[in-house]
């Protein structure tokens, strides 16, 4: 296909072409923003390596009943309504790797953003949350921890 044919197609299908251009710009913007946000998404295998290698602090933002049904070994339960980057639990961890997790990955991404703004150096969140952890067939512990 030549450039002339491409321009002719774009002229005949203006809305389709504008939609395509808009989506392209949105995807590029999202990917660039992801590079500069200061915290990183982890897959379950990467989280396992970070826990084993660097003794990462894992903060689970699930409701207490969900936490008791199953959580990542060694994780600490923090209720979303009580999450505070300046709390005693987190105060001594500013230089350590801190990983926020939740059931689906939504709340933990927001928590990671708050941790980074509070001055934490190594901030991560589990992409896909506990659901992704389970899909990777990694173990969960039941009870209060």
Per-residue pLDDT, averaged over 119-130, amounts to 92
Rounded CA-CA distance 17/11 in Å is: 8
Find out whether 136 and 48 touch, Cβ atoms under 8 Å: no
Residue 140 inside a domain? The answer is no
What confidence score (pLDDT) does residue 61 get? 95
pLDDT at 111 over 80: yes
**24 and 61 assigned to the same domain:** no
pLDDT at 134 over 70: yes
- Taking residue 16's Cβ as centre, other Cβ atoms within 10 Å add up to 11
For residue 47, what are the domain limits?
39-135
Rounded CA-CA distance 119/90 in Å is: 11
Element (H, E) at 41: strand 40-42
Beta bridge partners of 99: 58, 124
- 19-55 confidence digits (pLDDT tens): 998 999 888 887 776 666 678 899 999 999 999 999 8
**74 and 116 assigned to the same domain:** yes
- 51-106 confidence digits (pLDDT tens): 999 989 999 999 999 999 999 999 999 988 888 888 887 877 888 899 999 999 88
**61 and 74 assigned to the same domain:** yes
pTM: 0.74
**91 and 130 assigned to the same domain:** yes
pLDDT at 133 over 90: yes
Strand order in the sheet with 97-101: 40-42, 122-126, 97-101, 57-60, 76-77
Question: Which residue shows structure tokens 């639990």?
Answer: 89
**57 and 83 assigned to the same domain:** yes
Question: Residue 122 is part of a domain; what is its CATH number?
Answer: 3.40.250.10
Find out whether 76 and 60 touch, Cβ atoms under 8 Å: yes
């Amino acid at each position: 296909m030549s450039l002339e044919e491409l321009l002719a197609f774009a002229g005949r299908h203006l809305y389709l072409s504008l939609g395509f251009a808009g989506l392209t710009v949105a995807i590029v913007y999202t990917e660039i923003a992801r590079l500069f946000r200061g915290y990183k998404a982890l897959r379950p295998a990467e989280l396992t390596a970070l826990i084993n290698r660097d003794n990462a602090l894992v903060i689970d933002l699930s409701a207490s009943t969900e936490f008791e049904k199953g959580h990542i070994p060694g994780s600490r339960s923090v209720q979303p309504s009580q999450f505070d980057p300046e709390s005693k639990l987190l105060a001594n961890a500013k230089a350590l790797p801190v990983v926020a997790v939740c059931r689906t990955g939504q709340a933990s991404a927001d928590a990671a953003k708050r941790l980074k703004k509070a001055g934490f150096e190594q901030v991560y969140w589990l992409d896909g949350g506990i659901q992704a952890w389970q899909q990777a067939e990694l173990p969960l512990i039941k009870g209060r921890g």
